[in-house]
Amino acid sequence: MAENARRGSVISIHVAPMAEAAMRSVPEARAVAGRGLEGDRYFMGAGTYSKTPGTGREVTLVEAEALEALGRDYGVTLPANQCRRNLVTRDIPLNHLVGKEFRVGEVLLRGMRLCEPCGHMDRLAGVKASSGLVHRGGLRAEIVRGGVIRAGDALETA
């Protein structure tokens, strides 16, 4: 690993079969370039924002530390499967990955833009979490090279 490289890990993986459906935890998911995670709503073009122009809907990530801070600092509990993100990570600042390529296990991703929280997430989760996740809501990424992502995989920057 290069001197400037950082290493974190994937804590959990979540997919939903269609817009607004409950996210379910899975031990692994196949990432397909240009599509997303097999079994997820955006892979099938069935996500709430699938028809909205923009990049980075193939995979979304959020830091476990951000969800923990939401509980600690705002008194809001938001379980990982309710934050509407595909990958929950630990020990790596995701905001720094915008515009950069990084590896998750055997998969190569490119951070496209921040994944700011919204009222849609609040409504589906049944809690007001978005204000406590401003600029900590995660990262939207595209798949450069596909493969299988597994819970426990390393997340490494170059």
What are the boundaries of each domain within the chain?
Answer: 7-157
CB atoms within 10 A of CB 122: 17
Model confidence at 49, pLDDT cuts 50, 70, 90, reads confident
Nearest-CA neighbor of 16 among 113, 64, 85?
Answer: 85
Taking a C-beta distance cutoff of 8 angstroms, is the pair 144, 108 a contact? yes
CA gap 96, 114 in Å, rounded: 10
Q: What are φ and ψ of residue 135, in 5° steps? A: 65, 10
**Which range (37-46, 95-104, 115-124, 148-157) has the least confidence?**
115-124
CATH architecture of the domain with residue range 7-157: Beta Barrel (2.40)
pLDDT tier at 58 (50, 70, 90 boundaries)? very high
